Structure 1
């Protein structure tokens, strides 16, 4: 059950990050879940473990990490389209 909860929280974090950045994550729901998981890893690596925890993720560092990830991915995709 905790794995399913982690998938839900990861998807919500990825979705919120895409709303904040204003860019859609490629891959829809699966892309949001992946962005949430990778964002949580990036955020906890850069910012540590602080703030409220839900589904095994510290929400604030995970959200900030997902925002950074989506921003970087959108820049890379934009550069690839222009070449």
Structure 2
């Protein structure tokens, strides 16, 4: 159940991050899920220790962990855009 929840929440967060970064039309639902999950892992290692709390991948679903995972997905999309286009939108 935990893995399914991470996939669903990661997909939603990846989709929201792609809307914020204006890359939603270029990627499908599968890439949204991948960006959300990888962004959650990235946030779990980098952002969550700075703001406190537990990462979303450990099963914590509070506002800090969701916000950190969302920021991680945005950072990941920014890095992907930098390598793909040569600039961050």
Fold-level match, TM-score > 0.5? yes
Aligned residues of 1:39 and 1:66 also touching (Cα < 8 A): yes
Change (3 A) 1:55 1:25: farther
Structure whose residues are more often strand by fraction: 1
Shift of 1:50: 2.8
Consecutive unaligned residues of structure 2, counting only runs of 5 or more, are none
Mapping for residues 35-74 of structure 1, pairs under 5 Å: 35-48=35-48, 49-50=52-53, 56=59, 58-74=65-81
Q: Alignment RMSD, CA only?
A: 2.6
Consecutive unaligned residues of structure 1, counting only runs of 5 or more, are none
TM-score normalised per structure 2: 0.72
TM-score normalised per structure 1: 0.77
Aligned residue-pair number? 79
Mapping for residues 1-83 of structure 1, pairs under 5 Å: 1-24=1-24, 27-48=27-48, 49-50=52-53, 56=59, 58-79=65-86
